[in-house]
Structure 1
Amino acid sequence: MSDRYASFAHTGPGRALVKRLGLPDPPRLRRHRPGDPLTTAQVRLDAASGGRLVEPLAKLLDSAGVEISGPAGGTTTPAGSTATPVGGTTASAGTATGPGDGAGSRVPPQAALLFDATGITDSSGLRALFDFFHPLARSLQPSGRVVVFGTPPESCTTPREATVQRALEGLTRSIGKEFGRGTTAQLVYVAPGAERAVESTLRFLLSGRSAYVSGQVVRIGRAEVPEVDWTRPLDGRIALVTGAARGIGAKVAEVLAADGAQVVALDVPAAGDALAEVANAVGGTAVQLDLTAPDAPLRLADHLADRHGRVDVVVHNAGITRDKTLGRMNPDWWDSVLEVNLSSQERINDVLLDRELIPRGGRLVGVSSIAGIAGNRGQTNYATSKAGVIGLVHSMAPVLAERGITVNAVAPGFIETRLTARIPLVLREAGRRMNSMAQGGLPVDVAQAIAWFASPGSAGVTGNVVRVCGQSLLGA
């Protein structure tokens, strides 16, 4: 559905009116298109003294064809910085600052600002973040990217180190709300020893695939990462997508197929015609099945075993809403939402895992919602089910790690679909504007985040719930 306000705000008269009245100003987001480079300009990379990630990051950027500016690219560090270049020396004062921060200062446009904060072990060291970002904030291009890398607080060796590493969350969430113009900001916690597991996440966060993901915290653990063809990372993989007949599910099927997967698209028999269209469009197969049927898990497992012998990626996208305040809700509405959105996922996982149809390197991806994080009036059943999906991710991650299988979830915010089109106008506009991007997301934004979780390169990414919500002000 079109966003008429955003379309008007992008016109000449619209821009003038938005500025004069201080209205929400939705930026044009840089979304991924086939053949796009990873970034549109150079990237500034720096680190606090003792950072353990700056050299691996520099190597990854170089191998991806990204031009690096700043210390990692062989130039200087902003004046007063306590950051340390890749070569291990600290820059002297008098170097370039951001536009408007000093006479004659010039910083070329930056596509991204990356900072390795793993070397910060005391609160006094947080000054390095100010010294890095302050002079460079206005050098970011529209739809710029900010990524700060830290050590998981639970992996720190002292209470003070854990304290400052947790402080990084406040920095990145605030930057996501401050910088504007479609800028996204993320914090990536990388466990000691997981330095080689970063590439998939770095590529996702730098690219247009993460256009509607901001203010998020991602954790990466140790893992053996195979060689990946980044143009078609899912080549040879079998991917099951439930609820694939329309909306987000159809787009997930499309994106996974574009990444090389052979897609098994599943939906209820009533959606058979639409499901067949999706399956044909992506070169996959269609399965008509009501997941709440008692024999559904076994029938699905038999189909996957007979036709493919396994399933490498399982995307639990199927979901329904039956909205009513709790005091007026029909008990059948409560039961049906919990059954479709949560219980059926558990039963399917149990059967697929018991029959060892998900091999080592497999990926489970759930679809939660910001309603499962913040709650929502009139959606107690839906919010409960979606919070349950988050619980499933957190509880299953350590269990599945022993089998080399990851489990993660996306939590969409306001996404432009036929369902959100039915929301009353005032509530719909509030949903669109109450985020850092001042607009609704698209189904492809959710699909791209799922594809990142599904990638073989994301072996170290497990137990994460990432909101695809433009950094919604709800549940932030």
Structure 2
Amino acid sequence: MASKTDGPWSLVATIKQSGPVDLSKPYDTASLAGKTILITGGASGFGAGFARRWASHGAHIIIGDINDTAAVELIAELRALPGSSGHHHFQHCDVTLWEDQVALFRAAARLSPTGGIDAVVANAGIIEKYSALSGRGFECPGDLDCDSPPPPDLNCVRVNLTGVMYTVHLALFWLPRNARNTPVESDSGTGGGQPPRDRHILLVSSVAGIVPLAGQSEYTTSKHGVMGLFRALRGTAWRQGIRVNMIAPYFVDTPLIPQTGMVLLAGGAKAELDDVIDAATRLMADATIVGRGLSIGPKVRCVDDEDGVPRLVEMGKSGSGNGNGNGQTRGIWELYAHDYEEVELFVWRYITAINVLKNIRGWIGTVRDLFGIYMSSGKGGRRSPAK
């Protein structure tokens, strides 16, 4: 489905959002070589999978994690990978601590071979310690009618949402500071035939950011929060030349999912880690993808029903009718692709005002630079004495 870019209340062109992602087409990973990518929670699970894939394509990986042992082992593994740049580093980081994240970003910029950070993945996340099944935790408050009722343990929200907000806030500062390959601006947006420099924030939400995950209220709340951050941020991050994308995986067999969760999923389909890594790699490698979200679920196949209507069938199960369809098997889908195709009046006026202010500030900067050149040439004041 094509994006609506010409409607009266469309902001797609204004916010530089790209069109729908064609997931059937291959993507080029060559752009990953030489990029410095910071990954929070990168010592295991999705983060470690991203690190391995991207390091094998020549990216420089900086990991922040609380699991020192796993992180040190992974860094050694990354440095030994064929095609690896060898410039991979680890910094201990508790994402709920602002000071730790500040130190992580400073270390990443210092250790980067290019002196800056090209992309940031806000990946660190945990699941609630207790679900509603346990009879403990947020949904089971116990006796609070006492002298000093204890507050709920909101560590899941602190890691998954506050930690992500810290990461994004720092990324919005550090990414524009990396001037490597910055082109000279022109009317077409680039100059000298150089491609625009890629600055990228990749958010990691979850299927729990789209649907209610019963029994995991904190986790669901935090991932809905990440989804809200994505939907808002992609409407304004273009001001700093930063593209924002997001992935939202379904259940994947990683250390994040407790054993009880895997028992409940027994016999049911799960998303595949390779698909999660593939979706994230496509978003990381293709600088033309801006403001898109990809959901990763169990692999399904499109088949035709008896009346010719296509429907999705879980892999390993036969479809009714002729079962032919287009034969496409997939586990990655787009979501929330339409947010800025039609907006209400406040959002339209707000982003339009931001765009006007950005242009005004650009002209002010140009005038300031020209005035500085004029003054330094001596035409606007006294010339420096000749030597």
* Class of the TM-score when normalised by the shorter of the 2 chains: 0.5 to 0.7
Give the 3 Å change call, closer, same or farther, for CA 343–425 of structure 1 in structure 2: closer
AA of the residue aligned to 1:469: G
Question: How does 1:237-386 map onto structure 2 within 5 Å?
Answer: 237-268=35-66, 271-283=67-79, 284-308=88-112, 309-322=115-128, 323-325=130-132, 326-328=138-140, 334-355=153-174, 356-357=176-177, 361-386=198-223
Q: Distance in 2 between matches of 1:329 and 1:451?
A: 41
Q: Distance in 2 between matches of 1:248 and 1:407?
A: 18
Superposed CA offset, 1:257-302 (max 9, x none): 123211112211xx11111111121222111111112312321222
AA of the residue aligned to 2:275: D
Shift of 1:334: 4.6
Aligned length: 260
* Partner SS, residue 245 of structure 2: strand
Contact 1:201/1:452 (8 A) holds in 2 = no
Quick one: higher RCO (CA 8 Å, sep 6+), 1 or 2? Answer: 2
Larger radius of gyration: 2
Shift of 1:451: 1.3
Q: Distance in 1 between matches of 2:299 and 2:233?
A: 26
Shift of 1:409: 1.1
Q: Give the aligned partner of residue 366 of structure 2.
A: none
Superposed CA offset, 1:136-165 (max 9, x none): xxxxxxxxxxxxxx3224x25599xx9xxx
Pick the structure with more helix per residue.
1
Superposed CA offset, 1:7-57 (max 9, x none): xxxxxxxxxxxxxxxxxxxxxxxxxxxxxxxxxxxxxxxxxxxxxxxxxxx
Stretches of structure 2 lacking an aligned partner (at least 5 in a row): 80-87, 133-137, 143-149, 180-196, 301-311, 313-332, 336-387
Superposed CA offset, 1:150-208 (max 9, x none): 3224x25599xx9xxxxxxxxxxxxxxxxxxxxxxxxxxx979x99x77x944x5335x
Give the 3 Å change call, closer, same or farther, for CA 295–249 of structure 1 in structure 2: same
Query: Which of 216, 234, 237 pairs up with 1:400?
Result: 237
Q: Give the aligned partner of residue 175 of structure 1.
A: none
TM-score by length of 1: 0.49
Give the 3 Å change call, closer, same or farther, for CA 424–387 of structure 1 in structure 2: closer
Superposed CA offset, 1:370-389 (max 9, x none): 11211111111001110111
Contact 2:250/2:298 (8 A) holds in 1 = yes
Identity %: 27
Stretches of structure 1 lacking an aligned partner (at least 5 in a row): 1-149, 163-189, 210-229, 434-438
Q: Distance in 1 between matches of 2:165 and 2:95?
A: 11
Q: Distance in 1 between matches of 2:178 and 2:155?
A: 27
Q: Give the aligned partner of residue 259 of structure 2.
A: 422
Q: Distance in 2 between matches of 1:422 and 1:305?
A: 38
Query: Which of 262, 281, 285 pairs up with 1:451?
Result: 281
Shift of 1:237: 0.5
Give the 3 Å change call, closer, same or farther, for CA 338–305 of structure 1 in structure 2: same
Question: Considering only aligned residues, what root-mean-square deviation do their CA atoms show, in Å?
Answer: 3.3
Q: Give the aligned partner of residue 62 of structure 1.
A: none
AA of the residue aligned to 2:283: F
Q: Distance in 2 between matches of 1:276 and 1:376?
A: 34
Q: Give the aligned partner of residue 468 of structure 1.
A: 296
